[in-house]
Chains A and B, each alone.
Chain A
Amino acid sequence: MSQMNMVQSINQALAQEMERDQNVLVLGEDVGVDGGVFRVTEGLLQKFGEERVIDTPLSESGIVGTSIGMAVYGLKPVVEIQFSGFIYSAFEQLISHASRIRNRSRGRFTCPLVVRTPCSWVSRGLEHHEESTEALFIHTPGLKVVMPSNPYDAKGLLISSIRDPDPVIFFEPLRLYRAFKQEVPDEIYTIPIGEANVVKEGTDITLISYGAMMSSVLEADEILKGNNINSEVINLRTLSPLDKDTILKSVKKTGKCVVVHEAPLTCGLGAEISAIINEKALLNLEAPVIRITGFDTVVPLAKLENNYIPDVRRIVTETKNLMKF
């Protein structure tokens, strides 16, 4: 066990998987000499050399497209896209190819690559540097989407992603990179993809979130406790495939549900969760499922940033209101 922040735990996961499997390689802009602009790949070049830790030309489409070819031919590329807001030129490669190669070739070819990319709002970010676009990928059949919310989860989920037989988009919430440290085992461990984590059991209401918003939800939960509201808190960990069983089991118990994400409201993951609950647990519901999310606007820059991101108070207020329904 060591105290680690998320940068360190991801770095360790990469190093250990590269150690274990010669086929794992890391590529992207500034991942080598620089160790990544957030230092997530620091030291890997020195340990594994230029053949396995590759500074590429600036081309997201190029990085992902060539990684598809490598993945098809037995390698395990772990791509870094410097910010998720710059992934779009690789969108065609991901949507039209990575996600479909297994299907198109009827299993003859597969595409086990991982795309790691920082995401989510960060204070004083520039445009495109604070996007939450997970829904675009969740909506794509054939892609798995993972988003950790703490250093421990990040390591276990990344190792599982690297070992997964299919393409995984691994979102790393930027504001968590150095936000806090946590006990993380030094040895290799995995956290299964597709399983949510019930962080705290409760009876009154189910709070569902993921990524960086988990911290706000946990903080809100503490305040709600003081108001005699005993919530059950679910950390999704994997956004696609979604762990419907855990969600439904919880909502059937509590009868109420709040979904929190910072991504825009419309067609966000909250909409899908709400639909699943409506379809499978309608008669257990004591109140409508509500969503606390970012707005359907471009994320504003510094001057108005606090008005965009759902804050702890908003989660508490909305939850209390729902309890009165």
Chain B
Amino acid sequence: MPKLSDEEIKELYRLMVQTRVFDEKAWKLQRQGRIGTYAPIKGQEASDIGTSFVLSKNDWIFPTYRNMGAYITRGMPLEKLLQYWSGDERGQKIPENLNIFTLAIPVGTQPLHAVGLAWAAKKQKKDVVVLTYMGEAATSTGDFHEAMNFAGVFNLPVIFVVENNQYAISVPRSKQTKSETIAQKAIAYGFNGIQVDGNDIFAVIKATKDAIEKSKQNNGPSLVECVTYRLGHHTTADDYNIYRTEEEVQLWSQKDPIERLRRFMENKKLWTKEFGDKTFKEAEENMEKAIVAMESLSKPKPDEFFDYVFANQTNSIKMQREYLLKYLDEKEKEIRFP
């Protein structure tokens, strides 16, 4: 059991509930056409939140599309997350004071960036640990192995967190790798890999803390495999009934990480029904506020997507932008005065 104060344990519970509320509401918003495709994290909250919770403010995370729990734990405003999922790229502009990298959609590509940032931090003698998230299928990519190798060779302060949620869309873990565990892959690269129960937030925290400690003492990288389960569909475009049974989902529902933490807290007299209700209510209020905030944002200006092609606008980009604006203007006039 890692050392955690009662307040910290309550905070963990609050973060997990907030993430669950965000997740379930985001799903509904997609169904109502208010945001686009969304990838739920339901069931993986302990892995996501436990790993991020123990980082210091100057540490970094490199997330994927599924790490809303990590984002929330590190303080990303909920409305920014919603803004992104609604198809407004300004939502991915991470606030300056948060060390979170933009999320990677191409699977397995971001661990290399995490390794690079850790390398830079080491060269600059900064006290920084970098944590990169991925699903188990990312470990099938070449980039993942290159990242592991570089991290090992240059002894870098990186933690590879693999949320092994048993499926890559429809492809089960058994078809992804013949390795008995994901954790053992680290051995080949000369550093520690540990497999933990990813639905036990304390196990996750202990493993991550150990990895951070090790990195801080210049002992290099670690891999933490969190064995967990995606309780929802892969995304709002997926139907898990095609590739797995409801019984299997039910079985894993009984290991719901939030319920597990709740029971622990109840035993320790840290959880009362009143506290639970209040936590949910607050999480829902936060979410409602975020939705209002997201939906009252003004639309990006029509040519906003030209702004960040380069630092300095090239002549060609300038001409194309002017063309678009002129075209839109004429189009609007035509519609107004047909």
- The reply to whether chain A is a binding partner of chain B is yes
Instruction: Report the count of interface residues on B (CB-CB < 8 A).
Output: 45
Q: Which residues of chain B are within 8 angstroms of A225 by Cβ–Cβ distance?
A: none
* Interfacial residues of chain B within 268-315, with CB under 8 A of chain A in the complex: 299-300, 302-306, 309
Residue with the greatest number of chain B CB neighbours at <10 A, chosen from A33, A56, A303: A303
B305 touches A297 (CB 8 A): yes
Q: Which residues of chain B are within 8 angstroms of A34 by Cβ–Cβ distance?
A: 169-170, 242-243
B176 touches A57 (CB 8 A): yes
B169 touches A29 (CB 8 A): yes
- Of A123-131, A146-154, A276-284, the one with at least 4 CB within 8 A of chain B: A123-131
Known: A297-B306, A307-B328, A308-B305. A126 touches B36 (CB 8 A): yes
Complex Cα spacing A33 to B37, Å: 22
Query: From residue A170, how far is it (CB to closest CB) to chain B in Å?
Result: 21
B137 touches A57 (CB 8 A): yes
Closest residue of chain A to B242 (Cβ to Cβ) is: A34
B320 touches A55 (CB 8 A): no
Complex Cα spacing A313 to B334, Å: 11
* Interfacial residues of chain A within 7-52, with CB under 8 A of chain B in the complex: 29-30, 32-35, 37
B141 touches A59 (CB 8 A): yes
Q: Which residues of chain A are within 8 angstroms of B105 by Cβ–Cβ distance?
A: 126-129
B177 touches A302 (CB 8 A): no
Complex Cα spacing A295 to B327, Å: 13
Q: Which residues of chain B are within 8 angstroms of A66 by Cβ–Cβ distance?
A: none
Known: A30-B169, A266-B316. A85 touches B141 (CB 8 A): no
Known: A33-B242, A307-B302. A58 touches B36 (CB 8 A): no
Complex Cα spacing A314 to B134, Å: 42
Q: Which residues of chain A are within 8 angstroms of B75 by Cβ–Cβ distance?
A: none
Our pick among B88, B170, B299, B309 for the contact of A55 (Cβ within 8 Å) is B170
> Is residue A189 within 8 Å, beta carbon to beta carbon, of the partner chain?
no
Complex Cα spacing A30 to B167, Å: 11
Closest residue of chain A to B108 (Cβ to Cβ) is: A58
A301 touches B328 (CB 8 A): no
Complex Cα spacing A313 to B126, Å: 55
Closest residue of chain B to A264 (Cβ to Cβ) is: B320
B89 touches A300 (CB 8 A): yes
Query: From residue B44, how far is it (CB to closest CB) to chain A in Å?
Result: 18
Q: Which residues of chain B are within 8 angstroms of A35 by Cβ–Cβ distance?
A: 242
Our pick among B37, B168, B302, B316 for the contact of A304 (Cβ within 8 Å) is B302
Q: Mark B6-45, 1 if CB is under 8 A from A, else 0.
A: 0000000000000000000000000000001100000000
Query: From residue A266, how far is it (CB to closest CB) to chain B in Å?
Result: 7
A302 touches B87 (CB 8 A): yes
Complex Cα spacing A30 to B140, Å: 14
> Is residue B93 within 8 Å, beta carbon to beta carbon, of the partner chain?
no
> Is residue B187 within 8 Å, beta carbon to beta carbon, of the partner chain?
no
A265 touches B320 (CB 8 A): yes
Our pick among B87, B238, B302 for the contact of A301 (Cβ within 8 Å) is B87
Q: Which residues of chain B are within 8 angstroms of A301 by Cβ–Cβ distance?
A: 36, 87-89
Query: From residue B17, how far is it (CB to closest CB) to chain A in Å?
Result: 27
* Interfacial residues of chain B within 131-155, with CB under 8 A of chain A in the complex: 137-138, 140-143
* Interfacial residues of chain A within 275-325, with CB under 8 A of chain B in the complex: 295-298, 300-305, 307-308, 313-314, 317
Query: From residue A58, how far is it (CB to closest CB) to chain B in Å?
Result: 4
Known: A126-B37, A302-B86. A307 touches B305 (CB 8 A): yes
> Is residue B188 within 8 Å, beta carbon to beta carbon, of the partner chain?
no
Known pairs A33-B242, A297-B320. 20 more at Cβ < 8 A?
A37-B238, A57-B171, A57-B176, A58-B137, A58-B168, A88-B106, A124-B37, A126-B36, A126-B37, A126-B105, A295-B305, A295-B320, A297-B305, A297-B317, A302-B36, A302-B88, A303-B88, A303-B299, A307-B303, A307-B324
Interface residues of B (CB under 8 A from A): 36-37, 65, 86-89, 105-108, 137-138, 140-143, 168-171, 175-177, 237-238, 242-243, 299-300, 302-306, 309, 316-317, 320, 324, 327-328, 330-331, 334
